[in-house]
Amino acid sequence: LGVPKSELPQWTCIAEHESSYRTNVVGPTNSNGSNDYGIFQINNYYWCQPSNGRFSYNECKLSCDALLTDNISNSVTCARKIKSQQGWTAWSTWKYCSGSLPSIDSCF
C-alpha cells in the first residue's frame, strides 16, 4: 500500500480513534450536511462521491462506498492524499495521537 513503516503508528492511531478499526462505518451527518466514511472517516464533501449524488469535490476520484470495504487500499490511497495536502491535523482525532502513539513492534 506504500505506507512507510515509520508512519504506521500514526495511521493505526487515526483508525482507532476515527472508526475503532471498522471499515464499514458511515459517521453521523456533519454540520455542513456531509458524512465521513470508512476506517479513516474520509469526508464526502471533499474527497469521495456519495451514492446519493450530492455535490462533492471528489478529490480522490472514487465512490464513498469504495471506502466501506475490508480491502482498505482505496481508503489508504485517499487518506495518504489527504495527509499530503493537509497533514495529520486533517483528522480531528489527531489530538489523541500527537502525544502518544500505539506500538506496532509486535506486528513485525
DSSP string, 76-87: HHHHHHHHHHH-
18 is catalytic: yes
pLDDT band at 104 (very low <50, low <70, confident <90, very high): confident
Bridge partner list, 26:
37
Model's pTM, two decimal places? 0.94
Which domains, and CATH codes, for the chain? 5-107 (1.10.530.10)
Distance between CA atoms of 50 and 55, rounded to whole angstroms?
8
Residue 105 has pLDDT above 90, yes or no: no
105 is catalytic: no
Residue 77: name the closest of 108, 36, 47, 45 by CA.
47
Q: Convert the pLDDT of each residue in 82-92 to its tens digit.
A: 999 999 999 99
The one catalytic residue among 18, 59, 70, 105 = 18
pLDDT band at 102 (very low <50, low <70, confident <90, very high): confident
Query: What one-character DSSP code corresponds to residue 80?
Result: H
Nine cell digits for residue 6: 515509520
Nine cell digits for residue 55: 455535490
Distance between CA atoms of 25 and 88, rounded to whole angstroms?
20
User: Cα 41 from chain centroid?
Assistant: 4
The one catalytic residue among 7, 16, 36, 105 = 36
Q: Convert the pLDDT of each residue in 18-64 to its tens digit.
A: 999 999 999 999 999 999 999 999 999 999 999 999 999 999 999 99
Instruction: Name the CA radius of gyration of the chain, rounded.
Output: 13
For residue 57, the model assigns a pLDDT of 98
